[in-house]
Amino acid sequence: MAAASLQPNRIRRLYLTGVSAERDPLANVILASWKEILGVNTYNSEDSDGYDKEKESYYDEECDPEVHTSRCTARLRSFAWSIILQTYSEIFLAKSGPNRVQTWVDGVCRYNTEEGLRALLMQTHGHFMDESDGEDSLDPWSPAAMATRIRESQSIEQCKIVVGSDDKMSSPEQAHRLASLLGLSTGPNSLEHEEHEILCSFKIIEGCGHAVPMEEMRLWREDLLSFLN
């Protein structure tokens, strides 16, 4: 969306998966929990235990960066479990089983650091460090703001938004709202193309969470190829 917003003349079609106009209250709670797990500073008082004045942040003494390069293995694993449980649907997790999910947790911890994951969340969620979480309307790079600019540019010919029915991070309601901002008028399915409007369609994948390409890999790939062709 950022590329289409910046250089709309270079992009004719958009296929968006798990993207919503803004975060709903549940998504904000989930992000707040990740913020807490990763040890992001949410306090202002320097009198609180664990405050490092020089770094202006809070830390866990047991996770001293001088000892653990990835800060805290326990904290990193807690985040890995949380993000997997919140990203995938209950149906997919139940089918996968605890042993397989455990390997995913191990992979997250093996190939990531706390600092890297924190930076990723800050990059993908503009207000992650801000106490005004959820005020996406103030962010010019929020999906809603970019969708408005994309529609006004009248350069994108067609777009499609796909979302899982059980997506906790991008609810179907908010994904549908994004589709409306891009040109979808009413109803859950693709509508007729109006003059100077983007032909935008909207699809819900039943039983999927936020990770649609992982949970319904073949269905998602075929749908994407069909859209592009």
Give the DSSP per-residue string, 23-56. --HHHHHHHHHHHHHTT------TTSTTEETTTT
Contacts of 113 (CB under 8 A, 6+ apart): 69, 70, 71, 76
pLDDT for 186 = 47
Q: How many CB atoms lie within 10 A of CB 183?
A: 21
Nearest to 184 by CA among 199, 173, 205, 203: 199
What is the C-alpha separation between 131 and 165, in angstroms, rounded?
Answer: 29
188, 146 contact by CB (below 8 A): no
Strand order in the sheet with 158-164: 13-17, 158-164, 199-205
pLDDT for 88 = 97
| Cα dihedral value 77, 80, 84, 85, nearest 10 | 50
178, 137 contact by CB (below 8 A): no
Report, as ranges of residue numbers, the positions in the chain whose pLDDT lies below 70.
41-72, 125-138, 185-198
- For the chain, what's the residue count? 229
pLDDT for 35 = 86
What is the C-alpha separation between 207 and 216, in angstroms, rounded?
Answer: 9
Q: Which residues pair with 162 in a beta bridge?
A: 17, 203
For the four alpha carbons of 103, 104, 110 and 115, in that order, the dihedral sign comes to: negative
